[in-house]
Amino acid sequence: MPRRPSVAPLPSDALLALDHQLCFALYSSSLAMTKAYRPLLAELGLTYPQYLAMLVLWEDDGPTVSALGERLFLDSGTLTPLLKRLETQGLVERRRGREDERSVFIHLTREGRVLKRRAVAVPEAMLCTLDCGLDELQGLVSRLTALRNRLVPTPTTETPP
């Protein structure tokens, strides 16, 4: 059962006002963020979802497809075509597990590792675009992560054998 708010409720008309909706603030901010990233990622030849996948791989090369999907909150129907495009671009390669051929691991290629050096400019440019300090940014990330974790449990990370 959802908890009742501890503050005085808004009138019903105000409850339904678009600008009072947290979901809309998050949605429209996400759209704006993706739009701001677009020109920076175009220089790398990546879409925003591809960039997110590459961030995970730059942190930990060689996760399974399922672990990567969990980390990114993406289902296999979305992740598989994304990985195929990254593979076509020569940035990653998929390898079947030696012990269990049902497991597929994603590894960076040489080109994928080289791209990381160019990608360092993206977060720096976004800090300038957002015009906020590192402390403010980390605070936002922390609060949004906590909100997400209230809605969806944090995925478990899987390490390759």
Mean pLDDT by 10 residues, the chain (161 residues): 62 86 96 97 97 98 96 94 97 90 93 97 93 92 95 62 47
The helix (H) or strand (E) run that includes residue 64 is none
Q: How far is Cα 32 from Cα 77, in angstroms, rounded to an integer?
A: 25
Write down the pLDDT at residue 161. Answer: 47
Note the helical H segments in the chain.
Answer: 12-15, 22-42, 48-59, 65-72, 76-88, 110-119, 121-130, 134-151
DSSP label at residue 152: S
Closest CA to 69 of 78, 58, 60, 81: 78
Whether CATH 1.10.10.10 fits 41-116? yes
Q: How far is Cα 159 from Cα 157, in angstroms, rounded to an integer?
A: 7
- Residue boundaries of the structural domains of the chain: 41-116, 120-153
Write down the pLDDT at residue 8. Answer: 63
Write down the pLDDT at residue 1. Answer: 52
Write down the pLDDT at residue 97. Answer: 82
The helix (H) or strand (E) run that includes residue 93 is strand 92-96
